[in-house]
Amino acid sequence: MHIKTTKCNRFCLVASVSNQEVFSRPEAQGSFEALFRSFEPEVQFQYFKSFRRVRISFSDALAAAEARLRLHKTDFKGKEMRLYFAQSVHIGSPRLEPPKPDKQFLISPPASPPVGWEQSKDAMPVVNYDLLCAISKLGPGEKYELHTATPTTPSVVIHVCDDERGDSSAPDDSDQDDKPRPLRPKIIQTRRPDFTPGVEQ
């Protein structure tokens, strides 16, 4: 990608012109340029109609400063004209270079890890054996309260569900003589109606 660069130093002035005739009529441009050629005959002009700006390039810094001092906020064709010193712009290369790959490893997927990067080790899982022991002793329909409710937080309770086969998850001799639990009803899918393709008239 190439970009066009123009060297603009402290000898440049930028004029803010509200009068549109400066950008369309040669007579108005001649009158405008004559104001600045009185300070330096070899002054150069660049017109930017869309921004209503004119860049005036001087070869002498004193001439540019004097023109700005005398013509700033003066009347031109019934409109106020303002002058500003252009900022110094320095571009080392005529091409637009890509940014430095300082944080390129953050791009997904990364090309390679940064220098000195090491994978962190996973921490050992925390097993609450007291909780596992309490749950193993519970039977169907029983519950175990982990946290008691407070005025601002709810309680956390674990309920033991029945096995899908209707058997208890915890062995209990007292449940062997109980009546068998009824089987859960099976969900029957709705049958798709028959479709006979017809002939369109």
Fill in the DSSP letter of residue 95. B
At 71, give phi and psi (nearest 5°).
-105, -5
Q: How many angstroms separate the CA atoms of 126 and 99, rounded? A: 45
Record the pTM: 0.40
- 46 pLDDT band (50/70/90 cuts)? very high
In this predicted structure, the answer to whether residue 171 has a pLDDT above a threshold of 60 is no
Q: Given the structure tokens 């029983």, which residue do they identify?
A: 142
In this predicted structure, the answer to whether residue 9 has a pLDDT above a threshold of 60 is no
DSSP 3-state of 34 = helix
Instruction: Output the six-digit token pair for 72.
Output: 């700033």
Q: What is the pLDDT of residues 64-117, one digit of tens each?
A: 889 999 999 999 888 899 999 886 555 566 677 777 766 655 566 656 777 888
Nearest to 6 by CA among 94, 85, 83, 67: 94
Q: Residue 93: what pLDDT?
A: 67
- 192 pLDDT band (50/70/90 cuts)? confident
In this predicted structure, the answer to whether residue 154 has a pLDDT above a threshold of 80 is yes
Q: Give 191 or 174, the one with higher predicted confidence.
A: 191
Average pLDDT over the chain reads 76
Beta strands 12-16 and 53-57: pairing type? antiparallel
Domains of the chain: 9-87 (3.30.70.330)
Q: Residue 182: what pLDDT?
A: 67
